[in-house]
Amino acid sequence: RAQLVESGGGSVQSGGSLRLSCAASGFYFSRYSMAWFRQVPGQEREGVAAIDSRGQTMYTESVKGRFTISRDNDKMTLNLQMNSLKPEDTAKYYCAAMEDYRGHPTLSRGQFDYWGQGTQVTVSE
């Protein structure tokens, strides 16, 4: 059974850094595109960063230059390094996986097959 477990969330002041991790199991991780999404209560889940099976990446405009997505296929782990955090980055962050058939990364929410339970990130002024 596929499973994604996020960790690394917490509270930090504006300008600080956090590193999120997602441990994957139960599916062929190296063949999957992976992504991070985030959601604030009352709002739609938003794509943050994605990485496909070949390591190509994409980011939503608001995090470019501040966030870095990476993957370790041997450890079946997805990471998100978040620097220069802002209060507007406050959200619950979710890890997601989809079988990589597109040939490029995507942040299209409906394409993803597996989701984690999320980890909370809170950035204060």
pLDDT for the residue 86: 98
- Predicted confidence (pLDDT) per residue in 60-95, tens digit: 999 999 999 999 999 999 999 999 999 999 999 999
| Burial class for 36, CB neighbours closer than 10 Å (0-12, 13-18, 19+) | buried
pLDDT for the residue 22: 98
User: CA–CA distance from 42 to each of 91, 92, 97 (Å)?
Assistant: 11, 12, 24
38: CB partners within 8 A, 6+ apart: 45, 46, 48, 89, 91, 92, 93, 94, 121
pLDDT for the residue 5: 98
Rounded to the nearest integer, the mean pLDDT of the chain is: 97
The residue with tokens 């063949």 is 31
Mean pLDDT of 104-117: 95
- Is the predicted pLDDT of residue 103 greater than 90, yes or no? no
